[in-house]
Amino acid sequence: MKIGIIGAGQLGQMLALSGLPYALQFRFLDSSAAAPGAQVAPIVVGAFDDIEALRRLARDVDLVTYEFENVPVAALHEMAATRPCFPPVDALRVSQDRILEKELFGRLGIPTPPYRAVDSLADLEAAVAALGLPCVLKTRRLGYDGRGQRVLRRRADVGPAWEALGSAPLILEGFVRFEREVSIVGARSTRGELRAYPIVTNTHRDGILRVTLAPTREARLQRAAEAHLRRVAEHFDYAGVLTIEFFVHEGRLVANEMAPRVHNSGHWTIEGAVTSQFENHLRAILGMPLGDTRPVGHAAMVNYIGTMPERDRILAVPGAHHHDYGKAPRAGRKLGHCTVVAPTAAGRDELLKRIVRLVPR
Ligand code: AMP
């Protein structure tokens, strides 16, 4: 069985690595021959909307998946016409547009921040008047890791934010004064089996995930997050791993966004859960029984952003798992991560403190 993965970044690399024990073979499509996935499987080099490259990939594989959210939907339809393609293209289409995503959440009874579509400066003025300050202006499409967004705190921020982002369709969201951010990662298989991991607590800086703590043991939030995940997954007749990110506001979940793919906030599952999100994604799209999603202890995952820490100092921390994606350093770029797992939350927090001291900020 050969699987095509669109995108050969670290998510693709970790997906392919997790499939090797199943004797699965992989081919990637990526615009760079030197992307992290190259360490694990051959890359068909081409742009994500290069129909010829997509056809070359499709001819060579039995099934297609993707690790990258900004794959053009038309390109994926082209693939799906000749090879099974999971997660469903429609889930990708909705996740690419913050308005479609929030409309879907609304239809499924999943709370979101208040929002307005913004296509002109007049729209923006009206939306700011309706939602009040502070609020967050974001591009509807193609935003990630905090790119394409501005927090508006004062009236005077409106003009410059419009100048910076106004060339693309936008969304204005009410600013959520959240207590915490959490996410849920779960897998649904082609047979309809669904398993969710425990919710995790995420800390972001400059819109980029820095630290994930797992598990977050709050039965009420877990039940709510799982119910939301199930509703979205069933809506799409989903297969693969699905992630939903939430704000916790006044003790309740408010959905921020979904990702139809394995997710950075699920990296802890490699060493911290019985079955990793990557293995479960493959099991899900291949119709295998899903693996146990229970945690094996208390885990912390720390991202390496922009600069790598000294490997051997990280490895001197007992039980530290160091992941180097093999990417060239660049400000704001995810270069690797570290996971520690301990029998207790206090033990995990001790290890985390030591790791955080070693990771350049
Ligand atoms: P996003 O790209 O939508 O995931 O946003 C990146 C980060 O910006 C989130 O993880 C939050 O920390 C922050 N953020 C985004 N939207 C809002 C909002 N409506 N209210 C408060 N903080 C937000």
**334 within 8 A of 304, measured Cβ to Cβ:** yes
Nearest CA to ligand 1 atom 18: 175
Distance 207 CA to ligand 1 centre (A): 7
Give the three-state DSSP class for 130.
helix
Q: Report the distance separating Cα 285 and Cα 84, nearest Å.
A: 9
Q: How far apart are CA 69 and CA 257, in angstroms?
A: 12
Cα of 69 vs centre of ligand 1, distance in Å, is 17
**From the CA of 208, how far away is ligand 1's center (Å)?**
10
With vertex at residue 171, the alpha carbon angle to CA 102 and CA 107, rounded to the nearest 5 degrees, is 15
Whole-model pTM over 0.85: yes
**Ligand 1: nearest atom to the Cα of 145:** 2
CA-closest residue to ligand 1 atom 13: 207
* Ligand 1 surroundings by CB, under 6 angstroms: 113, 136, 143, 146, 173, 175-176, 181, 204, 207, 245, 256-257
The residue ranges of the chain whose pLDDT is under 50 are none
Q: Name the residue with the closest Cα to ligand 1, atom 9.
A: 207
Instruction: Check if the beta carbon of residue 228 is closer than 8 Å to that of residue 255.
Output: yes
Q: Measured between alpha carbons, how far is residue 305 from residues 31, 176, 327 in Å? A: 22, 25, 11
Q: What count of other Cβ atoms lies within 10 Å of the Cβ of residue 297?
A: 18
Nearest Cα residue to 208 out of 42, 91, 361: 361
At a CB cut-off of 8 Å and minimum separation 6, what does 74 contact? 49
